Structure 1
Amino acid sequence: KMQHHARALHAAWESEDFTKTYSETYVKGEKRELVEALGFDPTQITEQQIDEAMAMANLVIEDPSLHDMLYQFVKDYAEAQHAIEITNVAGTAAFELILTIIMAAVTGGVGAVAAIGSKAHLIKKFQKVGDLLSDFAKATRKLKLEGKKRKAKGNSAKFSDMEADQVQAKKTDAHGAEDGKVSKKANKKVEPKNLTDAKSILAARREEIAANGYTPKYSDAELQDIAKNGDIGSDRYQVRFMETSYLNHRDTPDVPLSGSMGRSMTGKSGTGAKYWSTSFDQLEDADTDPRLISQKLGLTYDPNVNYSLLIVDSQAAAPLTGVKSVSATFENVSEFANTELPDDFPKSFTDKVMTPEFQAEYSSQYKAAQDAGAFADEWSANEFENHLNTTDLSGSDKALMKQRFEMHETIGNNDDYLGNGLTKNNNPTVNQEYGVVETLNFERNEVNLSQLDQKNAITILPGLSPI
């Protein structure tokens, strides 16, 4: 305090406004020491954020299992890094890193920099852990509050006193797709016991289709309900449909399973395969018929292409891939683009193009370019731009269209993308608008198919043939 007083006096004597300069200089010095002592700038944190940080800190202190898991997380994180990174982590107490997780969660990183010094780069890496911890803290707080309410009511407490979310439980039968009505029979969701069971289910389905013809399992109404209220990304078994040639990496075509689940992408949270997929339940009614699968996924079936189907045990794969999955709605894909590729596709851009109206116009322009042979020699943004230059679109509209093409190229939301979480049905024999509920996936670690196979996280059905 004496040092701050002396420095403030010195600065004040040299200024034209003694009182104001003295006050500002003194307060600045006091604040700097406060920040150094607390590890964060209190003026950058709201009262609510402090409450949340305290709640999370109490959880760590009061819950031994959570305490142990967080310390193990720090240990595992350090051991997984380069030797230099291990030194950086070892140079800071584990609790300081846990404090960083908490402060990053409640402030978005604003309040944690002073606490970790040279470890500032860890904030982004720990943000996901902090988000999960924050959700856990809020849920725990809610449970405690409800417990107090029940205790206060004594024996008069009843379930009707509890807060409840409004939900709709809809059950469907195996033939609800014919009339689009919700059935009163048992739920028809198919959940394999394991990867071997998944293959058996598909084999049985093929016999059924061969004998009775193909009928989609879910109606449009049911698919819309699943897209709106369900979460197929959380299903344990997912499926990925791709050309067989992609199973081996183009640089190592002779190395079995050197390919990956999709095209590599570098985002803010990592580098790995980016791809679109759906759950096993959504696609199993089409068996392994590449024509039926293509049509359900809104794709154009090419009889000259060899296709494969990958069944993924996401429970076994996620620890290796670090996969991030979002349902394919305008809102979710926009947020994904803003978060992972903010320089290429900022919110100011997605707010304009990720709408039904703009998507319809993009689809129209893309198909017009395709029909005109714009992509005969090369599929690229420049070729699409050449087509746009033949239209009467304004300069700003052409720029948006070209950037939308680049988003199509990078993320994969193509000209048939609907933006409601569903694929377009391209099967002319089925009187439905939609095919399946789909997800956009981003593996934040570079992992090839061979590594997934070694972990028994995938099973591959190559060389698919139509029924």
Structure 2
Amino acid sequence: KNTRLLGRFKVVGELMMDFAKGRKQQLIRAKTRGARGKGASFDDLETVDAPAPQAPVPPPVHKVNTDSANNIKKKNAPPVSLTEAVDRLKKARENIKKNGYSGKYTDSDLIDIVNKGELNDRFYFRLIFGSADTIGNNSLGFTRPSGRAPYWATTFDMAENADSDPELLAGLFGIKDFDPDQPFSIAIIDMEKMPPQTERESFIPTYENMASFGNRELHEELQILGADMNDLMSEEMSEKYRRFVKSYTDAGGNIYDKSSVYKYSKKYTSDEALQKNLQARHIVQIEFGANPIFSGNGLTKVTPESRYAKEIGQEYGVVETFTFERDPLSLAELEKNGAAKIIPAKPIKGK
């Protein structure tokens, strides 16, 4: 990997050859004269100080820049604190009750934001299963046995007009089979106050960004299967994986049973390359949460069955954010540090 050193090693090789030739001639002369030659020594060879080997540079990850100004014009100024963010959600609720839901951004606006490639928002917004008074010991993302705890969210700016209505948010986020009896909570996250104890990276989860990050973070798992994230992150592979998961779950399979998924992939297709890619794509789902509805364009698709679908009135809901954490802090710890605020998510419409 250090090809820049080949020139120097060529010089060393030539010196070694000269040394060997000279030593051979010296021994011949010594034998002829009956002299005793000195033992071989490398002391007279020129030394070359090679630079210390450098660690390979990881692929770039598109991190969220919370300091620079956003190139996309916001519909209104961002909040300056968690308290203001909560107050603004209350106002949004009153507006929904009075005038119905109206989003800030059109489909073309959302696509433009993704194409810009950066989210510079300070406050993030996440819908969480469970009531606000019982989830304190949980983290923002579910921690896997590997220690990875990623979570999918959006920015406060994207979700503000939807208030804290879990049904409306589920429609915007593409969540199917919304259950009105399921308790939900909202986490408003202040990214500027998130403590540095945990490893953290955030970006818009496009195919390109996920491939770049996954090839680094899942390198060992993918290497065992001989798979590459660039092959997994495409619309073609997404469609193949959607069909595979549907077939597997229709047959009664548990998507979280890794060995069962692997066995089924061998029954599903005789194409060994496809088997490996389906198995690798399953790892991406389990470790990153990129399930079969992951679109790869950085946007959520509005749930057509949602009661809010007509009010939303467009194909896409919000720009998604993918945040990766390892060994994260609990929600209670984040609240104590002033980095997050957890509030109940209350539906506006009745059942």
**What corresponds to 1:381 in structure 2?**
258
Measured in 2, the distance between the counterparts of 1:395 and 1:319 equals 43
* Structure 1 match to 2:186: 309
Indicate conservation of the 8 Å contact 2:189/2:340, yes or no: yes
Matches within 5 A, 1:145-164: none
CA deviation digits over 1:122-151, x for unaligned, max 9? x99xx99xxx9xxxxxxxxxxxxxxxxxxx
1:246/1:309 CA distance change after superposition, 3 Å: closer
Figure out how many residues of one structure are paired with residues of the other and give that number. 305
1:256-335 to structure 2, matched below 5 A, reads 257-264=136-143, 271=147, 273-300=149-176, 301-335=178-212
Question: Is 1:409 aligned with 2:302?
Answer: no
The answer as to 2:220 corresponding to 1:356 is: no
Q: Residue in 2 aligned with 1:395?
A: 272
Structure 1 residue identity aligned to 2:231 = K
Aligned-pair CA distance for 1:431: 3.4
Q: 1:291 to 1:386 in 2, by over 3 A?
A: farther
2:314 aligned with 1:438: no
Counterpart of 1:239? 125
Secondary structure, aligned partner of 1:319: coil
Q: Which amino acid aligns with 1:203?
A: K
Aligned to 2:79: 192
Write the distance in 1 (CA, Å) between the matches of 2:133 and 2:197: 18
CA RMSD of the aligned region, Å? Answer: 3.6
CA distance in 2, matches of 1:364, 1:218: 32
Q: 1:341 to 1:386 in 2, by over 3 A?
A: closer
Q: In 2 relative to 1, CA 332–17 (structure 1 residues): closer, same or farther, beyond 3 Å?
A: farther
Query: 2 CA distance for matches of 1:284 and 1:407?
Result: 30
Shift of 1:302: 2.4
* Structure 1 residues 226 and 211: CA distance shift in structure 2, 3 A: same
User: How far apart are the structure 2 equivalents of 1:439 and 1:203?
Assistant: 24
Q: Does 1:214 align with 2:101?
A: yes
Is the 1:244–1:462 contact (alpha carbons within 8 Å) kept by the matching residues of 2? Answer: no
Identify which of structures 1 and 2 has the higher relative contact order when contacts are C-alpha pairs closer than 8 Å and 6+ apart: 2
Taking the aligned partners of 1:296 and 1:388, their CA distance within structure 2 comes to: 32
From the superposition, tell whether residues 190 and 412 of structure 1 become closer, same or farther in structure 2 (CA, over 3 Å): farther
Residues 1:458 and 2:318 are matched in the alignment? no
Q: Which residue of 1 aligns with 2:214?
A: 337
Structure 2 spans left out of the alignment, 5+ residues: 1-11, 28-41, 64-69
Deviations 1:182-214 (A, max 9, x none): xxxxx4145112101101111111111112222
Report the Cα offset of residue 452 of structure 1. 1.2
Q: 1:322: how far off?
A: 4.1
Contact 1:220 1:433 in 2 (8 A): yes
SS, match of residue 47 in structure 2: helix
Moved more, 411-420 or 431-440: 431-440
Query: Tell me, what secondary structure is at the counterpart of 1:278?
Result: strand
Q: Secondary structure of 2:189's partner?
A: strand
Deviation track 1:227-259 (CA, whole Å, cap 9, x = no partner) reads 111522x311011211126986xxxxxxx7222
- 1:397 to partner: Cα distance: 1.1
1:35-46 alignment to 2 at 5 Å?
Answer: 35=50, 40=51
Report which of the two has the higher share of helix. Answer: 1
Whether contact under 8 Å (2:140, 2:331) holds in the other structure is yes
1:223 aligned to which of 92, 110, 129: 110
Contact 2:151-2:323 at 8 Å conserved across structures: yes
Instruction: Assess, with a 3 A threshold, how the Cα gap between structure 1 residues 229 and 26 changes in structure 2: closer, same or farther.
Output: farther
Which residue, out of 47, 55, 67, partners 1:109?
A: 55
Secondary structure, aligned partner of 2:286: helix
**Aligned residue among 62, 84, 90 for 1:203:** 90
Q: Percent identity?
A: 29
Structure 1 residues 384 and 14 mapped into 2: Cα distance closer, same or farther (>3 Å)? Answer: same
Contact residue 247 and residue 260 of structure 1 kept, 8 A: no
* Counterpart residue type for residue 80 of structure 2: K
CA shift, 1:318, in A, is 4.5
Equivalent position amino acid for 1:410 in 2: E
| Alpha-carbon separation, structure 1, partners of 2:264 and 2:131 | 31
Local SS of the residue matching 1:403: helix
Q: How far did 1:358 drift?
A: 0.9
Match of 2:245 in 1: 366
Gapped regions of structure 1 (runs ≥ 5): 19-24, 45-107, 111-122, 133-167, 172-186, 249-255
TM-score using structure 2 length: 0.75
Q: 1:414 to 1:11 in 2, by over 3 A?
A: same
Output the amino acid matched with 1:417: F
Distance change (3 Å), C-alpha of 1:189 and 1:388: farther
Residue identity matched to 1:448: S
Q: Residue type matched to 2:116 in 1? A: N
